Amino acid sequence: MIWTLKKIFYRTYQFCMGLSLKFIPWFEPEIISGADCIKKLPAVIKEEGFNNVLVVTDAGLMNLHMLDPFFDALQSAGVKYSLYDQVQPNPTIGNIEAAFKIYKENNCQAIVAFGGGSPMDCAKATCARVARPNRPVTKMRGLFKVMLPAFKMGSLFPPTLFAVPTTAGTGSETTIAAVVLDAETHEKYPITDPAIRPKYAVLDPLLTIGLPPHISAISGMDALTHGVESYIGKFYNSRETRQKAVLAVKIIFDNIEMVFKNGKDMEARKQMQLAAYYGGYTFTRGGVGNIHTIGHNLGGMYGVPHGLAMTVIMPYVLEWYGEAAHKRLAELADAIGVSKSGMSRPQKAKAFIEGVKELNKRLNIPDKFDCIKDEDIPMIAERALLECNPTYPVPVIMSKEDCVAVIRSLKA
């Protein structure tokens, strides 16, 4: 009885949230695109009236000297910059506080996120800290915890954020979410608020040319997860977000093996960046689901890279959803061409899931995790459901027992 009432509450919450989303102004980032377009960004920063920015990135990109042309262009444009380059693969609260400190000490006016999902998340959470200087990161966990309280308390507006992705996967350059790790508890969770959405997104395919095949694969499959989860979700989507989700899924199936096999294929790299952007666009409105919640917590507990977690988990959760997801998955099967004439809806849905599995195999992605410990599974499930419910509009609401069973099925 109690579980039935909880599910009714969750669905009522999601339905009401879906209605309210129709009244939120969805301002999209302005896109700067094309090969070598990163060199145009300093002029845009200058035109926006900023002379002093914080650049958030990671040590790996610095060691590869990937930011050198950008730094040179900043200097030529007369824009001063401060640097935080210690972002970890799963950005921690400590990373965010360190970046926030540099921002304040150097009187920065805006932030440039340069890198994959981790620098993006760190930069976006740093924006939240600038907007709410007296509110710790742990208090901004969840939905709309940045600007709504800020209006009440008279806090600052967040700084303008310029996002420069060097992978094609997270779509963070267009989302309202940042995922952070509490290093003390090993809990990973999102901060979700329109206030931290980038104002500009720089889509330069040249920045993704040097990605290793494995990173190209798991980042691209991360984008696929965004498209799939948002497309099959309830209540939140609009016609436009569903169209973008289908586009993301189709582009990825058409191009991901090309960038995996030939990283210098410029057109395929460009298409994958576009797919990642579409994936981020659609889940910003349409939401994600249990694939993400379980994946976040495997990342928090064991350090599993986000893209890898999404890729491995996706088929298991889609199968668990069963009939509730068949209609949407069948439509995706039609879109990517894995369905055949005469197939029933369940057969098409199964064909799509099998298509994902086969794609994973061709990309040399494992189908299990060898890091999961039995004693951790109940806690991982609890944390996953805490993130998911009541907010995420999943096709089927998982109980703790359901979530535990899915996580156990992931264990090698």
293, containing H or E segment: helix 290-302
SS (H, E, C) 328-385: HHHHHHHHHCCCCCCCCHHHHHHHHHHHHHHHHHHCCCCCCECCCCHHHHHHHHHHHH
Average pLDDT over residues 254-273: 96
Looking at residue 148, its pLDDT comes to 66
Q: What is the pLDDT of residues 358-376, one digit of tens each?
A: 999 999 999 999 999 999 9
Q: Provide the CA 3 distance to its chain's centre, in angstroms.
A: 30
What does the angle CA 6 – CA 7 – CA 13 come to, to the nearest 5 degrees?
90
Average pLDDT over residues 10-18: 94
pTM above 0.85, yes or no: yes
Q: What is the pLDDT of residues 164-178, one digit of tens each?
A: 999 999 999 999 999
Strands of 187-192's sheet in order across: 142-143, 187-192, 177-182
- Of residues 24 and 187, the one with the higher pLDDT is 187
β-pairing, 187-192 vs 177-182, is antiparallel
Alpha carbon of 1 to those of 5, 145, 326, 396: distances in Å? 6, 32, 28, 17
Ramachandran category for residue 303: left, alpha or beta (phi over 0 → left; psi -120 to 50 → alpha): left
Which structural domains are found in the chain, ordered by start? 2-21+211-409 (1.20.1090.10), 34-208 (3.40.50.1970)
Residue 359: half-sphere exposure toward Cβ, Cα within 13 Å: 29
Bond preceding residue 390 cis, omega within 30 of 0: yes
- 178 pairs with which residues across the strands? 191
Q: Counting runs of H as helices and runs of E as strands, what totals does the chain give?
A: 16, 9
| Contact between residue 317 and residue 228 where contact means Cβ atoms under 8 Å apart | no
| Rounded Cα gap, residues 288 and 309, in angstroms | 14
Q: What is the pLDDT of residues 24-56, one digit of tens each?
A: 777 889 999 999 999 999 999 999 999 999 999
